[in-house]
Amino acid sequence: MMMLVRLNMRMALAALCGGVLLVTLYWSRCGDLAHRPIGSVLSYASPDRATNEIECSINGEYSVACRRDLDQIYVPFSFLHKYFEIYGKLTFVDGTEKFEWSHSYSKVYHPKKKYDPRGTFTTFENYNVEVRDRVKCISGIEGVPVSTQWEPRGYFYPTQIAQFGLAHYSKNITEPPPRVKIIDDGDKFLEKWIVSQDAVLTREFDSELKSNVLRFSTSDQASSQVWLKVNISQDFVLSMDLQLRPNSSMTVILQNKDKKETVYLHYVTSTQLIYAQEDHTYYGIGVDKKWRRITRDLIIDMQKGWALQDRPKRKSPRNKFKISGIILSGSGGVSDIRVSSSSHTAHFHAAARWLRAAQRARGGWPVPARRRVAPGVPDLRPGWHSAMSQGHGISVLCRAYYRSGDAGYLRAAQRALLLLDVPSGAGGVKALWMDKYVWYEEYPTQPPLFVLNGFIYTLLGLYDLHVMEGENSVSLAKKMFDDGMLSLKTLLPLFDTGSGSFYDLRHFTLGVSPNIARWDYHATHVNQLYLLAGLDPDPILINTAKRWEGYMQGKRAAHN
Amino acid sequence: MMMLVRLNMRMALAALCGGVLLVTLYWSRCGDLAHRPIGSVLSYASPDRATNEIECSINGEYSVACRRDLDQIYVPFSFLHKYFEIYGKLTFVDGTEKFEWSHSYSKVYHPKKKYDPRGTFTTFENYNVEVRDRVKCISGIEGVPVSTQWEPRGYFYPTQIAQFGLAHYSKNITEPPPRVKIIDDGDKFLEKWIVSQDAVLTREFDSELKSNVLRFSTSDQASSQVWLKVNISQDFVLSMDLQLRPNSSMTVILQNKDKKETVYLHYVTSTQLIYAQEDHTYYGIGVDKKWRRITRDLIIDMQKGWALQDRPKRKSPRNKFKISGIILSGSGGVSDIRVSSSSHTAHFHAAARWLRAAQRARGGWPVPARRRVAPGVPDLRPGWHSAMSQGHGISVLCRAYYRSGDAGYLRAAQRALLLLDVPSGAGGVKALWMDKYVWYEEYPTQPPLFVLNGFIYTLLGLYDLHVMEGENSVSLAKKMFDDGMLSLKTLLPLFDTGSGSFYDLRHFTLGVSPNIARWDYHATHVNQLYLLAGLDPDPILINTAKRWEGYMQGKRAAHN
């Protein structure tokens, strides 16, 4: 009887919709469009029921095995994952299994207060630039990352170096102060070094460092060493003042606590970036005979050595390894040896120093790698500039100025503005939308691409400089920021897909398929817009941020 | 043993992705992004298996009851339908049940040959304007539809009238010639009319029609009638020459073949559009005492009478009703009474005549209804013009000129151009994108909306006129078409959502949420682009058409 009733209902439905004969309509469009469910969807199923397999024909193109229980069709998530690019995982909470469906895999950070150029840079406290695969290693000489993103030999990518600096600057603010263990400072902390027979170790006052240092000298014999046995777990950022004569080195020994595995990190007097063979990784720290302070994240240095040998990344090596020794070889001096849980300030300043030193006469940081940006667009040839490098560089330099008071950093930041006013065709980074709205190009191609996130990062650099120059100043930075904000607020809607955002506007400038931002870039857009909404009350910013955040939970713009 | 292996695999996955403890990752993003399946997705299920219910938490917002079988999660289609707005139906093919998943509900028509203004208008042979709910009825005097779309009292909407004309013009080309049954032509076909005692019926020669006609006269008594009993099934388009004195009428009787149900359609000497009470529907055919030819789709006339009384639409009334009689009352003449399966030419010419007669001095067809277009935009006040009306009007008039050779139609089409060059703010329909690209506005709001489909229809009108004027002519229509095509090819990418299309660019001009085209409008865009790709070899047209068609099968633009 029930079945009969159901059948009649189906026929009625089919009649109403003008359905094809022999077809039972279930969820076809009939009259009004369906809307997103509000609240819970009722359960049609009961536990432990038998379901029949039923073939689902997907758009008449291929088939997927589904299940059927009475009137309900069940579609396998493995298919939905691929078809809609949604994500899911099984979780166990209080002994109950649950399936968690996620529309996106990224996270939005709502700013807690107005953005301040003296504070964290956007959400960069969550960035770990150096662990990225496209970072070859941290250079031993400059202490900044070396990129392999578009050039496998490795090159200094100013954007990446600046991000490294900004991430560490931000972490330094948000994280608790590091644990610092002084190993040997020549004064209060003195370690007992083991000196092989033909080697020499002395403690003496150094007039340059104005403190006691260790002076060492070993013979040409491989066994001739000065070494210190330590047993340090948990913290892995080693720093020291180091002075090496030619053919000298400082080696750190790491040991796996579980396995019989020893790793050697050699910091050597060489200009070679990195070299690795089996358990030995070598970082050139230059051939300068003067004192230098080196700060190394040993775990990063170890992992990059492995990566160079194509060994797989390991999970949480920080828990598995310990520092077991430091070996000095050749001749030179060391002082103020410390191991800390982090040394964000040192990394930040390394980035700031690099940016100041590497800046060219036009105020730019040329990128020495060829960049294939998009099919149909001429490559950017080595030496190109990026508005994002310029903007990020300014953000780093402003913070370095704020921390150090060194006006040289501020002047460097001001010099970095110049290229933002030079058109892409003339070696700069400026594009115009419809001959009207300025856009600072992350990739200054011709025709332009109008990348969104890089543009906003440039605006933040301009804002940083403007504030550092004095918020009431009438400056070039302020004018450039205002011009850029006008462009952004005008063109922002063009990046809205109705269910996400476009990474750039190449579909407009090249007439190609649009380049949709993957969720992590989309989340970056949302984070950036929330930040800007705190600086500019125009409702387009906050409204777009909110709508775009909704897209990450599966909401969509309405259709007509 | 198998379970253990699976568990270990899960743990390994969790380890690789850096998963949360106590979480088993299934389809999370880990490393590379997932891509759409090519070909079949393998079945993980076997028939008739028990599945457990498992709660699926949707983006942490609400829950849906899913099923689980080993590692596979099955999601109910009723939820997917609402969440993703996809469609599905169960079909029975050769005794096997199958579930058909459809990404969209609309259809694309690939043009078989190059568009020709003398031929069908786009895909309008598939349109049935008069059955739409927003058509109040077909007016008895003009024979054209009356719209209630934005004004429930009903008004002549030039776009709708033109579409009515173009649909019938196109059907006339694509459909086989109509079956025509001559009921009474005063010559070869003579019916036996029943004349009540106090009524008079004569056959006489009419000098105006130049044929024999029936002259009738009845008394004031309700029972005084001249009537004809017929029994006509299947075909319902009645036409006749009719001349009525005041207070006269022609009534058609329709009978339901299954049920005891009789419907009376009264065509009366009145200027009232329509009036309905129970089984009687009245159409005013005017008070002009001259001969007119009326052509009525009786089923449409019946349905509109029901709709006026809020009676539900009935399914396939053409199969259930028959014409059982024609009653003449008052006094007047009738001649050449026919019933045919269709009369597309008559309907087309009614639209063309209306457009020619209703055109104003500036060449426009003002819309007499207030139009609320979008929140935040001032209403269009009665008397506004639509570029789509102008373009469609031109398309109708060009075809009327082609069919009739009457140059008055061509001149009317040319006059219709004028408003396309008048800015929206000055009573016209022209907008400019970024002060640069002309756009013919379907809804000439300020700020402009840049509706896509209406713009392309306008371009087709321009193309039609250009061809009718001679393809080698240098004319205003040609210049306007070229300007418009340049705008279209430039701005088309801005309508691409990466998974569908925007209906307009209100998100850009108003800064609001984008207005996504529902699938039938999207299909219209695709059909229009395929048509234009036959007229213009620029690859943006054909490439966009193909990509947009793919969106209807669930394909998407790539993300980075």
User: Which of B48, B497, B529 should be substituted to probe chain A, the one whose Cβ sees the most A Cβ atoms within 10 Å?
Assistant: B497
Look at residue A453 and tell me whether its pLDDT is greater than 50: yes
3-state helix, strand, coil split of chain A in percent (to 5) is 30, 25, 40
Size of interface A-B (CB pairs under 8 A): 358
Chain A residue with minimal CA distance to B91?
A: A23
Q: What is the DSSP string of B373-414?
A: -STTSPPBPTTB--HHHHHHHHHHHHHHHHHH--HHHHHHHH
Residues of A in contact with B33 (CB under 8 A): 85, 518
Q: What pLDDT score was predicted for residue A94?
A: 86
Average pLDDT in the A150-159 region? 94
Residue among B524, B543, B379 at smallest CA distance from B451: B524
For residues B394 and A258, the model is more confident at B394
- State the angle between helix axes of B452-468 and B407-415 in degrees (0 to 180), rounded to the nearest 10: 140
User: Which of B513, B540, B552 should be substituted to probe chain A, the one whose Cβ sees the most A Cβ atoms within 10 Å?
Assistant: B513
Strands of the B321-329 sheet, one edge to the other:
B194-195, B226-233, B321-329, B249-256, B262-268, B280-284, B274-277
Kindly give the pairing relationship between strand A280-284 and strand A292-297. unpaired
Round to whole Å and give the CA distance between A103 and A87. Answer: 6
In CATH, which of 1.10.150, 1.20.1740, 1.10.1060, 1.50.10 is domain B124-174+346-551?
1.50.10
- DSSP conformational letter for B342: -
What count of other Cβ atoms lies within 10 Å of the Cβ of residue B16?
Answer: 14
Give, rounded to a whole angstrom, the gap between the first and last alpha carbons of chain B. 41
- Shortest Cα distance, chain B CAs vs residue A62, angstroms: 5
B376 touches chain A (CB under 8 A): no
A101 touches chain B (CB under 8 A): yes
pLDDT one-digit tens code per residue, B20-75:
323 333 444 433 333 333 333 334 444 566 778 999 999 999 999 999 998 899 99
Round to whole Å and give the CA distance between A174 and B441. Answer: 53
Tokens of B15: 């380890």
Q: What pLDDT score was predicted for residue B50?
A: 73
Q: Quick one: pLDDT band at residue B317, thresholds 50, 70, 90?
A: confident
**Residue carrying structure tokens 């105020």:** A363
Round to whole Å and give the CA distance between A64 and A56. Answer: 5
Residue A543: phi and psi, rounded to 5, are -65, -45
Q: What pLDDT score was predicted for residue A48?
A: 63
Sequence-ordered list of residues with C-beta below 8 angstroms from that of A53, at least 6 positions apart, any chain? A65, A66, A67, A68, B43, B45, B46, B47, B48, B49
H-run or E-run covering A548: helix A539-551
Round to whole Å and give the CA distance between A424 and A464. Answer: 23
Residues of B in contact with A539 (CB under 8 A): 511
What count of other Cβ atoms lies within 10 Å of the Cβ of residue A208?
Answer: 11
Q: Is B421 helix (H, G, I), strand (E, B) or coil?
A: helix
Q: Is A267 helix (H, G, I), strand (E, B) or coil?
A: strand
pLDDT one-digit tens code per residue, B454-503:
999 999 999 999 999 997 778 999 999 999 999 999 999 999 999 999 99
Round to whole Å and give the CA distance between A145 and A168. Answer: 12
B89 touches chain A (CB under 8 A): yes
Residues of B in contact with A36 (CB under 8 A): 82-83
Look at residue A9 and tell me whether its pLDDT is greater than 50: no
What count of other Cβ atoms lies within 10 Å of the Cβ of residue A352?
Answer: 27
Average pLDDT in the B368-379 region? 93
Percentage of residues in chain B having pLDDT higher than 70: 91
Chain B residue with minimal CA distance to A58?
A: B101
- Shortest Cα distance, chain B CAs vs residue A143, angstroms: 27
Residue among A329, A334, A338, A324 at smallest CA distance from A229: A324
Report the top-level CATH class of A180-341.
mainly beta
Chain A residue with minimal CA distance to B520?
A: A560
B59:A101 CB<8 A: yes
Average pLDDT in the A266-288 region? 96
Look at residue A334 and tell me whether its pLDDT is greater than 50: yes
Q: What pLDDT score was predicted for residue A47?
A: 53
Rounded-to-10 torsion of CA A306, A311, A312, A318: -30
Residues of B in contact with A448 (CB under 8 A): none
ipTM value for the complex: 0.87
- Shortest Cα distance, chain B CAs vs residue A548, angstroms: 10
B46:A25 CB<8 A: no
Using CB atoms, pick whichever of B40, B41, B434 lies closest to residue A434.
B434
CA distances to A420, A422, B534 from A368, in Å: 19, 19, 46
Long-range contacts of A208-212 (CB under 8 A, 24+ apart): A208/A290, A208/A291, A209/A241, A209/A291, A209/A335, A209/A336, A211/A185, A211/A186, A211/A187, A211/A335, A211/A336, A212/A185, A212/A186, A212/A187, A212/A335
- State the angle between helix axes of A387-404 and A344-358 in degrees (0 to 180), rounded to the nearest 10: 120
What are the b/e assignments for B528-560, b being 16+ CB within 10 Å?
Answer: bbbbbbebbebebbbbbbebbbbbbebbbbebe
B517:A87 CB<8 A: no
pLDDT one-digit tens code per residue, B130-180:
999 999 999 999 999 999 999 999 999 999 999 999 999 999 999 999 999
B15 touches chain A (CB under 8 A): yes
Average pLDDT in the A234-242 region? 97
Residues of B in contact with A68 (CB under 8 A): 99
Q: Quick one: pLDDT band at residue B13, thresholds 50, 70, 90?
A: very low
B48 touches chain A (CB under 8 A): yes
Give, rounded to a whole angstrom, the gap between the first and last alpha carbons of chain A. 41
pLDDT one-digit tens code per residue, B122-131:
999 999 999 9
- DSSP conformational letter for A94: T
Q: What is the DSSP string of B32-90?
A: SPP----SPPPP---SSEEEEEEEEEETTTEEEEEEEETTEEEEEHHHHHHHH--EEEE
B65:A41 CB<8 A: yes
Contact B320, B257 (CB under 8 A): yes
A255 touches chain B (CB under 8 A): no
Asked if the domains B124-174+346-551 and B180-341 are classified in one and the same CATH topology, the answer is: no
Residues 396-435 of A with CB under 8 A from B: 434
Chain B residue with minimal CA distance to A506?
A: B493
Residue among A482, A443, A476 at smallest CA distance from A459: A482
B36 touches chain A (CB under 8 A): yes
Percentage of residues in chain A having pLDDT higher than 70: 91
- DSSP conformational letter for A54: E
Q: Quick one: pLDDT band at residue A6, thresholds 50, 70, 90?
A: very low
Q: Is B367 helix (H, G, I), strand (E, B) or coil?
A: strand
CA A542 to chain centre: 24
Round to whole Å and give the CA distance between A339 and A354. Answer: 24
Residues of A in contact with B102 (CB under 8 A): 28, 59
Residues of A in contact with B58 (CB under 8 A): 101, 554
Average pLDDT, chain A: 90
Look at residue A13 and tell me whether its pLDDT is greater than 80: no
Domain ranges of chain B: 50-102, 124-174+346-551, 180-341
Round to whole Å and give the CA distance between B267 and B250. Answer: 5
Q: What is the DSSP string of A448-484?
A: ----HHHHHHHHHHHHHHHHHT-TT---HHHHHHHHH
B41:A78 CB<8 A: yes
Round to whole Å and give the CA distance between B191 and B557. Answer: 66
Residue among B470, B479, B356 at smallest CA distance from B421: B479
Look at residue B8 and tell me whether its pLDDT is greater than 50: no
Residue among B31, B53, B66 at smallest CA distance from A78: B66
A6 touches chain B (CB under 8 A): no
Using CB atoms, pick whichever of A19, A77, A105 lies closest to residue B75.
A77
Residues of B in contact with A560 (CB under 8 A): 503, 515-518, 521
Q: Is A217 helix (H, G, I), strand (E, B) or coil?
A: strand
B50:A55 CB<8 A: no
Look at residue A39 and tell me whether its pLDDT is greater than 60: no
Using CB atoms, pick whichever of B16, B44, B56 lies closest to residue A78.
B44
Which range (A26-30, A294-298, B288-292, B400-404) has the least confidence?
A26-30
pLDDT one-digit tens code per residue, B201-232:
999 999 999 999 999 999 988 889 999 999 99
Round to whole Å and give the CA distance between A133 and B31. Answer: 11
**Residue carrying structure tokens 């759409």:** B36
Residues 448-467 of B with CB under 8 A from A: none
pLDDT one-digit tens code per residue, B541-553:
999 999 999 999 9
Q: What pLDDT score was predicted for residue B93?
A: 83
Long-range contacts of A76-80 (CB under 8 A, 24+ apart): A76/B41, A76/B44, A76/B45, A76/B72, A76/B73, A76/B74, A76/B75, A77/B26, A77/B27, A77/B66, A77/B72, A77/B73, A77/B74, A77/B75, A78/B27, A78/B41, A78/B44, A78/B72, A79/B37, A79/B41, A80/B75, A80/B80
Round to whole Å and give the CA distance between B456 and A35. Answer: 30
Using CB atoms, pick whichever of B26, B90, B560 lies closest to residue A517.
B560
Round to whole Å and give the CA distance between B12 and B14. Answer: 5
Round to whole Å and give the CA distance between B239 and B243. Answer: 13
pLDDT one-digit tens code per residue, B506-526:
999 999 999 999 999 999 999
- State the angle between helix axes of A344-358 and A158-174 in degrees (0 to 180), rounded to the nearest 10: 150
Q: What pLDDT score was predicted for residue B47?
A: 53
